Each structure stands twice: as structure tokens, then as C-alpha cells.
Structure 1
Amino acid sequence: MPVSVSEPYDLAVIGAGPAGLAGAVTAAEHGLTVALLDASDQVGGQFYRTPDPELRAARPEALHHDWAAFADLRARQRSGNGITHLAGHRVWTVTRGGGGTWAVHAVTGADGAGERPVCVPARALLVATGSYERQLPFPGWTLPGVVGAGGAQAMLKSGLVLPGIGAPSARAGRRARGRIVVAGSGPLLLAVASSLAAAGAKVPAVVEAAGYLRYARHPRALATNAHKMVEAVVHGSALLRHGVRLRARSAVTAVHGTGRVEAVTVSRLDRDWRPVPGTDRRIACDALAVGHGLTPQIELAVTLGCATRTTADGTSALVLDGFQETSVPGVWAAGETGGVGGARLARVEGELAAIAIAARLGGRPGPAGSGRVARLRRARSRMRSFADAMAAAHAPGSGWPTWLAGDTDVCRCEEVTAGTIREAVDDLGARDARTVKLLTRAGMGWCQGRMCGSAVSCLAAAGGAAPAPPGERRPFAEPVPLGVLASLDPPDEDRP
């Protein structure tokens, strides 16, 4: 039978990353009872991943910036001030409960027979589910040794290992000899490359598909976000110190190897991201860390009916008002769900949302009053302007599908090739991305389109089909065992 909490919390926060943690702590300090749900066993989310205690890392903070801000939030969360941390809870849907509350449905426990359903009622919701990496496929991207750029950083932060290499030998006083190319688009690449190099990997190149000169089109956003420039200088200095070469307006268009990565082909790109003939160069390496930006993880909010918008780089984000509330009353969101903007912006939005929720629910006033709200809103506006500039600067060009051969897998889960998708549009008459999905099964696998959704939509549009609608509604945000669903209580027919 499902585990259920009888008395509703004032607030359920879904996601314990920078936004969710800031929101939970602030709400509790305003007198609200808070349930903080997260799939991980530790707070911090993807950004503040920390090594397993059994690894006995001496200085985990060395792998992060802004660690002091996270340490402060974590200490406040652990102080027992009204926050119930529900670790290892994978939220798969949210429904309307009785008496105007929300019912947050999650699965917890070990995989298999140990999994059990949990229902957490709450008067308000804060969705802080973060984002996941956007991948644009190319020949050879399924070879062992190809990982996401963020995935490479996660391996280092949480497991103290390097992709394609293993544990950094620097821990034993020697430098690792593995070669890791970092490629894709977006500022995450610089952070990943500098952290990998600092851990002992040899990084032959950072391959950036966009040109950094695009930021110059947004001088005001640059001028009002000096901390972003400082971060760029820090990462750039680290790359220079380790002898890492930056190749702008270029992309990895093929991976080579027998059984695993042995080399990559790097091509210069034109303004539409089409490879320029005669510019291919082969670089030997042991692994490739690649990612083309981040996509807001908004499945839960979209299922509730929250409105979405299309961002400058073609992803979908939630529409939010001046206090972080979505188009659905009683549901707030913060962090990457409203558009990718980084950890500092996420913390500001989480705090702002919590103050608004406390005001709505009748919590006690905070120590700073309305002045604090005004400062938070100004900071959010300033950092959002940079986030918009960043999205525009790194938006994928329309010509990237020319990288793909007909036999290149686009949907890895269902092994659907680019040729199969093109055939569905050109020969079978698919006129929209949803029909392409039905004809080919692209996006129907375990990841439910998180890995291939953008690519499938782009390929369909290139053939004349309509792209997939932003924020497709699904009843499940996470895979749920049938045994767990069978154990749920039947719905209350009188409940709206």
C-alpha cells in the first residue's frame, strides 16, 4: 500500500538543487512546513554534486565555485527548522488533492521489490526540477567513451573518476595520461574542460560550435553581470595554464574507434553550422565529453497545465510571473525550469518564490521585508538578461543535421536512424513530429525523448514536417514499475 502523509505540508519543493534548496530554506524561515523531495540521497542537485562519503574526498569544494553559498544553504537546511528532507524520492506525477491541496506522487526505495509509492500532500508547490543536457547526434556518438559534457563533470564530482580513464592518477601524485576532447556549445564546456584538466586529464581541445563574438550583441547584459565575465576569465586562464586549445565555430562531426573512442573528426562550421568542406581535422583521444546546452526539465509542470514559452535557443521553458508563479495558481517554479541561467540565478529565484508563497499562505514576515523582494527582483532581471543573451549566442544552427549519415542512430533507446526518420517524412507522409514518432518509435524508449527529442524534431522540420509542440504533456515524468501503480488506492470519484 502507498505510504501517505495525513496532514498536508504548507509547501512541497520538488528538486533539491540550488533553486529548490534556497526555496525550502527561505520558506521554512518564514514559518512554513516544507517537504523537500529529491531523487538523490544528498542535497545540491546536479550542480553541487558531492562525492560519496565512502570515497573520503579531502576537499570536495575544490570541484565547485560558489561553494560557500551552497554550504550556507545546506547548514540552514540541516538545522531542523521545519524542513522534511525526503531523499531518494522520484516524483512521477502531481495531482489535485482534496481541500485545495496538491498530491505529490513519488517512488522510493531500492529498485525492484523494495520500491514503494509515496503520496505527499501540500498546499503549494515549488517546481525546481532543473535541466538535462541537449545532445545533437553525429556518426559514432554511441561508441563507448562518448559521454555528455555535464555527465563528465558529474563523474568527476560524485565519483572522482574521469571518462575513459578512471580514477585520476593525480590523487596518487601522478598526472593521468588520458586524452579527453570537450565539444558542443555553451559556457558549460569551459567549466568542464578546466575541471578535467585540473584533475589530471589531457584535454587536446575545447571545440565550440558557436562564436563568442555573439555576446557582443548584448552589451548591457554583459555590463550588468560582471561575475559572469570573471567566471569566463577564471576558466580561460585555467585552460591556458594547462595548454588547452579552444576551437571556436567548429564541431566534432564524427567519432572513430573499434569498440571505443580512438579519435574524433573536428570540422569548421559556417554560420548555419554546416561543415566547411576541406576543414576536417582528426584528433586522437580516449574519450569525448559533448553537449549542446541544457534543456529545462518541465514535464511535471506541463502535466499540470503550466504554460510554456520557446527560449532563444529553441528549448521550452515555463512562463512565470514577477514572483515565479506559473500560469496554474498555487504552482511556482524556480531555476532552470524557467530558462537555463546558472546556480546563482537559481538561488535568487528560489528565495523569491518562497517569499511569495509565504505571503500567499500567511507565513510570518521575513527579516528584510519588501526591500529584500525588490533587490531579488532586480537581481533576477539582471541575470535573466544574461541568460537570454547566452541562449541566443549558443543557439544551434539550422544546418547541423548535415553532420548525419543515413545510418547514424538518432534515438539510441530504440535504435532509430536518421535515414529512418527522413523516410517517415519524405516517403511515408509524416507531417508533424508526433507522427514521425509514431511511425519510427523515436522518443518512445527509456529516456522518453530526453536524449533525442530535439534532434528528432529538427530532422522532421528539415523535411517539411511541423516541429513537436513545446512541452508535450505526459502522465509520467519518471518510469514507474507496474507493481507500484497496482498498489495505488483507486481515485476518489468526488475529488476534482
Structure 2
Amino acid sequence: MTERPHLAVIGAGPAGLAATVAAAAHGVRVTLIDSAAEAGGQFYRQPAAALRARHPESPQHGGRTWERLRDALRTHQQARTVSHLTDHHVWFIEPRDAGFTVHALFGPEQEDSVGVRADAVLLATGGYEKVLPFPGWTLPGVVTAGGAQAMLKGTLAVSGRTAVVAGTGPLLLPVATGLAAAGVEIAALVESATPGAFLRRAAALSARPDKAAEGAGYALRLLRHRVPTLLGHTVTEAHGTARLEAVTVAALDRDGRARPETRRRIACDTLATGHGMLPHTDLAGGLGCRLEGTHVGVDAEQRTDVPGVWAAGESTGIGGAALALAEGHIAGRSAAARLRGTEPDPRAWAAAARARTRLRAFATTLDTVYAPPAHWTERITDDTVVCRCEEVTGGAVREAVEQLGAGDVRTVKLLTRAGMGWCQGRMCAPAVAGLAGCEPRPDRRPFARPVPLGVLAREPAPTTEEGPS
């Protein structure tokens, strides 16, 4: 078994699982490395085993696909063609003459590091939520939409009794219906997209009748739970002292500005807000992979321009679980063939390639429908905290731009410290870019996450081909 080529897959969500199963089934040893305690990622997140949930609901949808992937992973683990390292946070991928060494933190305090040697690397690092600040967004009780969903899926818990779900994007629908099914009163679903945005792209949206049916199902559940739905609206402010007590919402005009005369206050103790997602590109950037805007550039085989490195899923562009599965399958088949020294046959993944094309086009349409309001930065007052880690306000960012001449995120960072905290700008970069009037660009960093100095100071840990025993 050790004579087989070795592929390291980073990330155990839909793309990583599909790639792992495909590569292992075609003659390659795979080490699947993931920061979570269980495989599945956010989309297939399951309740913690310690909760002993008797009848855990299927994660959103696609339960049968998840079961097939889970069972195939277990089969390959039993056959020792796949090693799955859980609770391992990859912080650096080191190119070597004969491949790569993947460095990952593990242990209760994340103070130990292990190196995994591999012949090639497949990045399935997923994405993270785009956060757009507004007055009061740092109050306890304000959470991201994905955070609310992760809490519900992983811990079977909710953060309050009365919630407003707001922002834009298809994620708001399963979040609102999931919370309502869990007994939370949904005071309002506030979506900034207008009915006209859907009608103008009706032809493109009709190309996915399954998604239309899924959306209709969510709409029926919202009606059943009597959830008020406000299209073409946005949250302009969150109110409270010790924690969230209410939010102010307003209708948007044709230019995307909040109309003051339409403002109204809605009492709630939870606000789940989201404005889409951004690709995780830290590891790809550290390796020197070409970035196209905010995502990793790949070819028809999901190969990056760095030899021996593939990428699949949300890191190559946000598009949802079905697209991630198709890309993961293609990447896994391609990596397996090339590591075995054979030329891949595109016919082997023809169906997945057709699905990829169709799903990518649909994702592009959704991006135009669910674009944040054009003038969302006008909600950020000078007193609004933009960078939570360094407590940098909107006024400080505007001063750096208007008085000190900053025209990009990096210069604002140097002048204000916005983005220098623990999250390294993942939370505040979109807001800083919006205030600076520039496009957000991923930073290229040597390390993908904060690393204890003790790890860097110690001698490198012994590297293995399948991680720690």
C-alpha cells in the first residue's frame, strides 16, 4: 500500500470528500486533513456525537449523497487507502523537491504540529461568510447566518427565542426555516434582493427547476410558520445595551439606499445576518497559486498553475455543494491519473464536467440576484466598529482614505491596524475595501493561520506519510 502515490486533501466538506473517494478508488493513497472533529464540512455538519441525538435531521438536503460519501470514506479507511486526520488545522504547505509537506496544528491547545509528506496536494478549503458591518452589529445576539446554522446543526441549540434573519443570499432561507422548526419565533426574514431582481433573471434561474422547487419548499415552510418576509429591505441598525433587543429595518430605493421614511423597529434577541461568502484562498496564496479576483484559478482538470496542486469547491468560486461535489470528483480523478503517470481521460468525468458548467453558470446568476445593496457602506457611521480585533471604526478608515490618501486595503491596514488582529482581516476586509472604494483582494501570507511561537521555535516535528498514529 505504501508504494501507491500519496495525495493530501485539505478539507473534508463536499469537495474534499468527493475528491478523496474518487482518488482512493483509482489507485492513490489519500490523507484527508480537516480542522473539524467529523467529516462533512458546514453543509453536511452533523450533531455532536456526545449529544446522542436519536433522530438527527438530514443536513438541509442531499442526505443520501452524504451517506454515500460517508460510507465510501469508511470503506477506504478500513482498506487503509485513506487516512483521515481530524482536528488538524493546516497552517503551512511546504513545497519539497519530491512533493510537499503539509504542516498542521493539533491537540487541545493547538500547540503541537505535525508534517504530512505527500506527492501532491488538493485544496478543498471551502469558504467563509462575508460580513458587512452596521451600527450595533457587535452586540451579543448578533451572529452570522452561517454561525446560527452551524450552532443549530452541530449543537442542536439556538441563541435566542425571537430572531430576525437578514441580509441577502440563498442561505437565509434554510437558516430561517431551520430556526423556525427548532421553535424560534422568526420576527422577520429581511432580504435586500427585490422581486424585480428575480424576474429579470427568471429565464436563467429556470435552468435549475430543482432549485426552484427547493425555493418553493422553503417558501411554504415560511408561510406555515407565519414568517413575515420583507423583500427589498435591509437592517440599518441593531439596538441594545447588554445584548441585542431590537433592529431597525428599512426599504431600499432603486439605487440601493435605505429610505428613512420606511424605517421601523422590530423587537428580537437574535439577529442572524449574512451577505454571501468568500473563498478560502490562504493556503493557495501561500503556495503561489494564481488568484483570479477572490478565488483560485484552475484549468479544466481543477489544476492550479502550481505543479502538483489541485483545487476544488468554494475555494475556486462560491457555487454551493452540488458544484463542489462535481469539482471534487474531477479533481480527484485527475490527481489520481497524473500521480500514477497516466494521461487523464476527460470522458471519465464527462458527466461531472457538464454539471460543473451548468452549476457554475447558475451560481453566476445567483451572484447578480443576491448582490448586496449598492450603497451599503452608507450604513457604516463613523462610530461603527469595522475591525473588531483592533477596534478600528468607520471614521478611522474614512480618515485614512480621505485625508491620508489610502486607496487600498493594505494601506488602510498600515495606517489604522484594521486587519492586523487574530482573524487577519477575514472579517473586516470586505468592509475596509468598500470604504476605500476598491475591490477586495486576498492577501498572500506565508502562514494560513496564527501559529504559536513555540511551534516555530522548536525543531520541526518528524514527518510521516500518514500523520501521527
| Alpha-carbon spacing, 1:97–1:302, altered in 2? closer, same or farther (3 Å) | same
| Aligned residue number for residue 478 of structure 1 | 449
| Aligned residue number for residue 386 of structure 1 | 362
| Alpha-carbon spacing, 1:239–1:488, altered in 2? closer, same or farther (3 Å) | farther
Q: Distance in 1 between matches of 2:51 and 2:208?
A: 37
TM-score relative to the length of structure 1: 0.89
- Structure 1: segments with no counterpart, 5+ residues: 1-5, 166-177, 311-315, 491-496
Q: Distance in 1 between matches of 2:23 and 2:426?
A: 31
Secondary structure at the residue paired with 1:204?
Answer: strand
Q: For residue 435 of structure 1, what is the amino acid of its counterpart?
A: T
Identical-residue share of aligned pairs (%): 52
1:489 matches 2:460 = yes
Offset of residue 215 of structure 1: 3.8
Q: Distance in 1 between matches of 2:203 and 2:302?
A: 24
Q: Deviations over 1:423-479 (max 9, x none)?
A: 111122223321111110101111111111100011011xxxx545x2210111111
Secondary structure at the residue paired with 1:64?
Answer: coil
| Residue of 261, 266, 269 corresponding to 1:283 | 266
| Residue of 124, 137, 141 corresponding to 2:137 | 141
| Aligned residue number for residue 418 of structure 1 | 394
Q: Please say if residues 183 and 207 of structure 1, whose CA atoms lie closer than 8 Å, have aligned partners that are also in contact.
A: yes
| Aligned residue number for residue 343 of structure 1 | 321
Q: Distance in 1 between matches of 2:332 and 2:195?
A: 35
Q: Please say if residues 134 and 384 of structure 2, whose CA atoms lie closer than 8 Å, have aligned partners that are also in contact.
A: yes
1:256 matches 2:236 = no
| Aligned residue number for residue 56 of structure 1 | 52
Q: Distance in 2 between matches of 1:434 and 1:228?
A: 39
Secondary structure at the residue paired with 2:121?
Answer: strand
Q: Please say if residues 17 and 128 of structure 1, whose CA atoms lie closer than 8 Å, have aligned partners that are also in contact.
A: yes
Q: Distance in 1 between matches of 2:121 and 2:210?
A: 31
Matches within 5 A, 1:22-421: 22-79=18-75, 80=77, 81=79, 82-99=81-98, 101-111=99-109, 115-163=111-159, 165=160, 178-219=161-202, 221-310=204-293, 316-362=294-340, 371-421=347-397
| Alpha-carbon spacing, 1:372–1:479, altered in 2? closer, same or farther (3 Å) | same
Q: Distance in 2 between matches of 1:9 and 1:66?
A: 31
Offset of residue 371 of structure 1: 4.1
Secondary structure at the residue paired with 1:203?
Answer: strand
Q: Deviations over 1:338-361 (max 9, x none)?
A: 111111111111011111111211
Secondary structure at the residue paired with 1:237?
Answer: helix
Q: Please say if residues 31 and 363 of structure 1, whose CA atoms lie closer than 8 Å, have aligned partners that are also in contact.
A: no
Q: For residue 300 of structure 1, what is the amino acid of its counterpart?
A: L
Q: Please say if residues 42 and 87 of structure 1, whose CA atoms lie closer than 8 Å, have aligned partners that are also in contact.
A: yes
Q: For residue 108 of structure 2, what is the amino acid of its counterpart?
A: A
Q: For residue 104 of structure 1, what is the amino acid of its counterpart?
A: V
| Aligned residue number for residue 466 of structure 2 | none
Q: For residue 348 of structure 1, what is the amino acid of its counterpart?
A: A
Q: Please say if residues 131 and 295 of structure 1, whose CA atoms lie closer than 8 Å, have aligned partners that are also in contact.
A: yes
Q: Distance in 1 between matches of 2:107 and 2:227?
A: 43
Q: Distance in 2 between matches of 1:215 and 1:43?
A: 35
Offset of residue 364 of structure 1: 8.9
Q: Distance in 1 between matches of 2:336 and 2:204?
A: 31
Q: Distance in 2 between matches of 1:109 and 1:117?
A: 8
Q: Please say if residues 146 and 289 of structure 1, whose CA atoms lie closer than 8 Å, have aligned partners that are also in contact.
A: yes
Q: Distance in 2 between matches of 1:143 and 1:161?
A: 19
Q: Please say if residues 265 and 282 of structure 1, whose CA atoms lie closer than 8 Å, have aligned partners that are also in contact.
A: yes
| Residue of 400, 407, 412 corresponding to 1:431 | 407
| Alpha-carbon spacing, 1:363–1:56, altered in 2? closer, same or farther (3 Å) | farther
Moved more, 26-35 or 422-431: 422-431
Q: Distance in 2 between matches of 1:78 and 1:419?
A: 53
Offset of residue 224 of structure 1: 2.8
Q: For residue 390 of structure 1, what is the amino acid of its counterpart?
A: L
Q: Distance in 2 between matches of 1:192 and 1:56?
A: 23
Q: Deviations over 1:369-402 (max 9, x none)?
A: 7544111100110011111111121122331111
| Alpha-carbon spacing, 1:217–1:372, altered in 2? closer, same or farther (3 Å) | farther
Offset of residue 282 of structure 1: 0.5
Instruction: Provide the aligned C-alpha RMSD in A.
Output: 1.9
- Structure 2: segments with no counterpart, 5+ residues: 462-469
Q: Please say if residues 5 and 340 of structure 2, whose CA atoms lie closer than 8 Å, have aligned partners that are also in contact.
A: no
Q: For residue 91 of structure 2, what is the amino acid of its counterpart?
A: W
Q: Distance in 1 between matches of 2:312 and 2:141?
A: 34
Q: Distance in 2 between matches of 1:359 and 1:272?
A: 51
| Alpha-carbon spacing, 1:69–1:364, altered in 2? closer, same or farther (3 Å) | farther
TM-score relative to the length of structure 2: 0.93
Secondary structure at the residue paired with 1:283?
Answer: strand
Q: Distance in 1 between matches of 2:205 and 2:380?
A: 35
| Alpha-carbon spacing, 1:70–1:63, altered in 2? closer, same or farther (3 Å) | closer
Matches within 5 A, 1:445-464: 445-461=421-437
| Alpha-carbon spacing, 1:141–1:121, altered in 2? closer, same or farther (3 Å) | same
Q: Deviations over 1:288-309 (max 9, x none)?
A: 0001001111111011111222
Secondary structure at the residue paired with 2:355?
Answer: helix
Q: Distance in 2 between matches of 1:136 and 1:431?
A: 19
Q: Distance in 1 between matches of 2:217 and 2:439?
A: 39
Secondary structure at the residue paired with 2:243?
Answer: coil
